[in-house]
Structure 1
Amino acid sequence: MCTAALSLFLKYMPTFSTLDAWLAHLETAHPVGIDMGLARIGRVKDALGLRFPCPVFTVGGTNGKGSTCAIIEAILLAAGYRVGCHTSPHLLSFNERARVNGEVVADAQLLPHFEAVETARNSFDTPVSLTYFEFTTLAIMHMFAASGLDAVILEVGLGGRLDAVNIVDADCAVITSIDIDHQQYLGDTRDAIAIEKAGIFRAGKPAVCGDPMPPATLIAEAERIGADLWLFGRDFNYQGDKQQWSYAGRSMRRPALAYPALRGANQLLNASAALAALESMRAELPVSAQDIRLGLATVELPGRFQVVPGRPAVVLDVAHNPHAAAALGHNLDGMGFFPYTYAVFGAMADKDIEGVLRHMVDKVDHWHLCGLPTPRAADAAALEADLRAVGFREDADHSVAQHASPEAAFAAALKLCGENDRIVVFGSFFTVAGVMAYRKSQRH
């Protein structure tokens, strides 16, 4: 596009004065919600001149990505570094996707970078179409690049090889776990999915895998490209008892560590992968034993086996695939005795819902199934059919009810349960977000 034509076009280019208006526009601007590939976003990245002057961690995996990002972030912050962290999806506010120095960014910080991405994508003869995730990821990256940071942490949205964050060459790539999810995009075997996730590895750079049983395809892909592969059980591991745990890496040992503030049995796997990543980057970003202890003690991440204070006990967990549901069931078993457990559950129709429920059917007495505010969701009737298919039967101590929304399901469960019982809210991010919003509204 010639300079004069570009100037005229940009003068009338759509722009918005609020973040909510930008997000509403982006939800309808690209006809396909998920459009895998890096060609389009790569062109806009080049037009932006996007590059990071600091080390970048990219974190992928089926489950545990958000927790691992939060642990790396918390330890680096404890060490005094300026850190940017991009995670997704959000629960209550889009701004949760971008943190700078541990603080969720304000709308005003984001707006100039949304405008920069819009200008860049319209600088071609034919404007480049970007999905909601691609556009917002670029805007957040652009903000990070301009923020004088010491480290950037990027969570993979879907898969790895073709995910938007993979337009950046990671200085250290982490894969937390590999299991079956998003089969329509990634394949239906762990071997196939591992190849997609290994797409975030780079030649000569640390590639940390926290899965205790990595598929051979992941190892082969790392070797093929010449990545510096760190495997759990070979290059790093942990040992622990009920009081404390210890990390051992290639050349670093950290004994007598307190458990991470994040609850759940899998958090030691996530924490050890985070420590391996930091060990692999110790020349650029050294951290002390005290930094690690402080980071582990202060790390926070809503919606990951989050036990809300008060009675009845309320557990919030975004477990939406069988691997995550198995971990949630295990964690519930470790909570002690509750007379009855109530569940609020909603899920996307394209998930392995029976696989999820199979791990939870014997953990819950009273089910409150709900629809969700998105066309992708399974309705409550379909969820009940799946629940019955995995063996649920009603009797005097077991029941099932259908609700239109997570808010309605939680209100019904709260009305029926006793103060010594517990309510487990799990499934889609929409399920947990709906209940979080409802609880917040009741406090005001």
Structure 2
Amino acid sequence: MTNIKPKPTTAQQWLAYIEAQHPKAIAMGLDRVNAVAQKLQLEPAFPIITVAGTNGKGSTCALLSQVYLQAGYRVGCYTSPHLMRYNERVRVNDIDISDDDLCVAFDAIEQARGDIALTYFEIGTLAAMWHFCQNSLDIVILEVGLGGRLDAVNIFSPTCSIVTTIDLDHMDYLGDTREKIGFEKAGIFRENALAICGDENPPQSLIDHAAKIGTPLKLINRDFTVTKTTQAWQYSAEGHELLLPNLGMQGDFQLSNAACVVCATQYLNTILPVSLANIHEAFQTVTLIGRFYQIHTQPIIVVDVAHNPHAAVSLAHNLKAMPCAGKTFAVFAMLADKDIDGVIHAVAPNINQWFVADNHSPRGAKAFDLNQRLIKNDPKSVTELFADVTSALNAACKTATKNDRIIVFGSFYTVADAMSTVLQNTTSTP
């Protein structure tokens, strides 16, 4: 008798099901996902902006989405990973996809794929685009999951592409130099479709690839510039200057992401016009949960998904720019395959005491191992070890006074656990 498993009927059942469909969490290559896309006849008629980069992708996608929403367009946005719910990854007009629509999309991919094994991310990418194609959208913004050239998002040709920053991360898949990683990220470029790069020192491999395939490329500090002013900041390109307001997001490094957004919207202005007022409103209102984002007061708790040295340097700059009267406590948990030493080195000078936790991901580093790295990089560090982020955060809250602050960082999992903890503590308080 054949043992046939029942078809998933809920979003959680579907997510568990698709996670088990491929033996590897990451399997680079486009042949399989392309084959299923062709079966589904996924041929988007709307313009697409594809965003790649080591850091800054999420911020750039959020700013792009909000600019076009302010201009009155119907906007689809696909990002990853999520913090609290998978539905956050697929948004139409800034609203998460519903569980029902998510189930319908997953079912459409399941019927089309047959015996083709797809990864969790590949199924999710196809489901997102299938959902977007069912709606009358004016523009879709796609965030690359890993790299660019061989990422599932790259089966859809962008009208414009953006590479934010390039640094050493995911080296097992993308290469161990910025030149190799730059080439992988440049894989999202297309002939005659504008590419924009916000890295102040772009690898030559990225520039060469654009020239080789006939991609017009605009670089920050060469084709467009950012200048801070006493009022806010200024975007300059081709002799034109725009005075723009301070961003709702914290950190001067966000100005490079915002400048890439201005460059992209100016390029697409003939097909999707946006006004300066639309840009102003979007830039002032957008905040991104998980990027130096305050989730509690008394004590102040700030969460940041910083998980590589480049992001950790930005986190350190933000901590210095917003000093507190008391001490800074860190709740810290990371994935084992990241550059842990590089992250610690960047942030350690700003931390008075560490609450180090196990990371519940299968790829998570153990608190003991993180603590050994801390002692190695900062022998004077004061540390405590915990079995999970919740225990570490609760202990930090008991230690902190009203003048202190707590920064929770190291991975998306770390931030998600912290946010869940704060939410549970808030709702359980009489």
TM-score for the superposition, normalised by structure 2: 0.97
SS of residue in 1 equivalent to 2:69 = helix
Q: 2:233 maps to what in 1?
A: 245
Specify the alignment match of 2:223 in structure 1: 235
Q: Check conservation: 1:252, 1:279, Cα contact below 8 A.
A: no
Alignment of 1:246-395 (within 5 A): 246-250=234-238, 252-255=240-243, 257-394=244-381
* Distance in 2 between residues matched to 1:82 and 1:248, nearest whole Å: 28
Mapping for residues 197-236 of structure 1, pairs under 5 Å: 197-236=185-224
Which letter maps to 1:389? Answer: K
Q: CA RMSD in A?
A: 1.2
- The one-letter code matched in structure 2 to 1:442 is N
Query: Structure 1 residue runs of 4+, over 4 Å off?
Result: none
For residues 393 and 229 of structure 1, what CA distance do their matches in structure 2 show? 47
Counterpart Cα distance in 2 of 1:155 and 1:190: 20
Give the conservation status (yes or no) of the 8 Å contact 2:179–2:203: yes
Distance 2:408 2:252 in 1: 18
The 8 Å contact of residues 50 and 142 in structure 1, kept in 2 or not, is answered as yes
Q: Secondary structure at the match of 2:350?
A: coil
SS in 1 for 2:200: coil
Contact 1:203 1:227 in 2 (8 A): yes
User: Does 2:140 align with 1:152?
Assistant: yes
1:52 maps to 2:44? yes
What per-residue deviation string (whole Å, max 9, x for no partner) do you get for residues 136-195 of structure 1?
111011000111100000000000000010010011000000000000000011000000
- Once the two structures are TM-superposed, the CA of residue 199 in structure 1 deviates from its matched residue by 0.2
Write the deviation string for residues 366-423 of structure 1: whole angstroms up to 9, x where unpaired: 10111111221110000001111112314xxxx2011111111100100101111000
- Sequence identity, in percent? 45
Contact 1:321/1:352 (<8 A) preserved: yes
The reply to whether residue 90 of structure 1 matches residue 77 of structure 2 is: no
* Greater CA drift, 192-201 or 303-312: 303-312
Maintained 8 Å contact 2:324/2:403: no
Output the CA distance in 2 between the equivalents of 1:37 and 1:347.
27
Decide which of 140, 150, 160 is 2:128's aligned counterpart.
140
Quote the Cα distance in structure 2 between the aligned partners of 1:241 and 1:232: 18
Matching residue of 1:441: 424
Residue of structure 2 in register with 1:193 after alignment: 181
Cα distance in 1 for partners of 2:22, 2:383 equals 39
1:416 partnered with 2:399: yes
2:237 alignment partner AA: G
Find the partner of 1:61 among 45, 48, 53. Answer: 53
Task: Report how far residue 426 of structure 1 moved.
Answer: 0.6
- Residues 414, 309 of structure 1: CA spacing in aligned structure 2 closer, same or farther, 3 A cutoff? closer
Question: Bigger CA drift: 246-255 or 280-289?
Answer: 246-255
Measured in 1, the distance between the counterparts of 2:198 and 2:133 equals 28
The alpha-carbon distance between structure 1 residues 251 and 283, as it changes in their structure 2 partners (threshold 3 A), is farther
Q: Deviations over 1:235-276 (max 9, x none)?
A: 111111353111122375321x21111111211011001111
Structure-1 separation of matches of 2:319 and 2:178: 26
1:229 CA drift (Å): 0.3
- CA distance in structure 1 between the aligned counterparts of 2:104 and 2:353, rounded to whole angstroms: 48
**Matched residue SS, 2:302:** strand
Q: Secondary structure at the match of 1:178?
A: coil
Conserved 8 A contact 1:361-1:392: no
CA distance in 1, matches of 2:13, 2:264: 38
Hey, what does 1:425 align to over in structure 2?
A: 408
Q: Deviations over 1:107-154 (max 9, x none)?
A: 1122211111001101xxxx1000000001110110001111000000
Contact 2:295/2:301 (8 A) holds in 1: yes
Question: Is the 1:372–1:430 Cα contact (8 Å) retained in structure 2?
Answer: yes
CA distance in 2, matches of 1:139, 1:278: 26
Tell me the amino acid that sits aligned with residue 103 of structure 1.
Answer: I
Contact 2:296 2:302 in 1 (8 A): no
Counterpart of 2:348 in 1: which secondary structure? coil
State the match for 1:30 in structure 2.
22
Report the secondary structure of 2:195's partner residue. strand
3-state secondary structure, aligned to 1:238: strand
| 1:4 paired residue number | none
Structure 1 residues 74-83 or 259-268, which shifts more?
259-268
Tell me the CA shift for residue 336 of structure 1: 2.2
Give distance in 2, aligned partners of 1:242 and 1:156: 35
How far residue 309 of structure 1 moved from its aligned partner, in angstroms, is 4.9
What TM-score do you get using the length of structure 1 for normalisation?
A: 0.94
**3-state SS of 1:179 partner:** coil
The separation in 1 between residues aligned to 2:129 and 2:199, in whole angstroms, is 28
Whether the 8 Å contact between 1:86 and 1:98 is mirrored in structure 2 is: yes
The one-letter amino acid of 2:192's match is G
Contact 1:318-1:427 within 8 A present in 2 as well = yes
Q: Is the 8 A contact 1:15 1:115 kept in 2?
A: no
Q: Give 1:15 shift.
A: 2.8
Aligned position for 2:156? 168
Does structure 1 retain, via aligned residues, the 8 Å contact 2:295–2:419? no
Q: 1:184 aligns with which of 167, 172, 176?
A: 172
> Which deviates the most, 261-270 or 305-314?
305-314
Q: Which moved more, 1:171-180 or 1:300-309?
A: 300-309
* Letter paired with 2:385: Q
2:315 aligned partner, one-letter code: L
Change in Cα spacing, 1:250 to 1:46, as seen in structure 2 (3 Å) is farther
Counterpart of 1:51, as a letter, is E
Deviation (angstroms), 1:337: 3.0
* Inter-partner Cα distance in structure 2 for 1:155 and 1:74: 15
